[in-house]
Amino acid sequence: MGPIKLCYETFGDPSATPMLLVMGLASQMVIWDDEFCEQLADRGFWVIRFDNRDIGRSTILRDRRPPKTWQLMVRDQRGASYTLGEMADDAVGLLDQLGVERAHVVGVSMGGMIAQLIAIRHRDRVLSLVSIMSTTGNRRVGRPHPRLIPHLLSRARTDREGYISDFVETYRVIGSSAYPRDPERLRATGGRCFDRGIHPAGAARQLAAIVTTEDRTPLLRQLDLPATVIHGTADRLVTPSGGRATAEAIPGATLVMIEGMGHDLPPEVWPQVIDAIVRTAGVADSATGAAAS
Contact indicator for 23, 31 with CB cutoff of 8 Å? yes
Distances from the Cα of 279 to the Cα of 141, 185, 227, 260, 275, angstroms: 27, 29, 10, 22, 6
DSSP state letters, 187-251: HHHHHHHHHH---HHHHHHHHHHHHTPPP-HHHHTT--S-EEEEEETT-SSS-HHHHHHHHHHST
Domain count, the chain: 1
Sign of CA dihedral 200, 201, 206, 211: positive
Domain-embedded: residue 72: yes
- Asked whether residue 171 is assigned to any structural domain, the reply reads no
Kind and range of the H or E element at 118? helix 110-121
Q: pLDDT per position in the chain (293 positions), as tens? A: 468 999 999 999 999 999 999 999 999 999 999 999 999 999 999 999 999 999 999 999 999 999 998 999 899 999 999 999 999 999 999 999 999 999 999 999 999 999 999 999 999 999 999 999 999 999 999 999 988 877 777 777 899 999 999 999 999 999 998 999 999 999 999 999 999 999 999 999 999 999 999 999 999 999 999 999 999 999 999 999 999 999 999 999 999 999 999 999 999 999 999 999 999 999 997 776 544 43
Residue 132 belongs to domain spanning: 8-144+198-292
pTM > 0.85: yes or no = yes
- At 152 the pLDDT is 72
Q: In the beta sheet, which residues pair with residue 228?
A: 130, 254
- Evaluate whether residue 86 is within a structural domain: yes
Asked if residue 236 belongs to a domain, the reply is yes
Is residue 122, in this structure, part of any structural domain at all?
yes
Classify residue 69: in a domain, yes or no. Answer: yes
The predicted pLDDT at position 25 comes to 97
Closest alpha carbon to 103 in 94, 111, 208: 94
Task: Give a yes or no: residue 275 inside a domain.
Answer: yes
pLDDT by residue (tens digit) across 74-125? 999 999 999 999 999 999 999 999 999 999 999 999 999 999 999 999 999 9
CATH number for position 90: 3.40.50.1820
Residue 188 placed within a domain: no
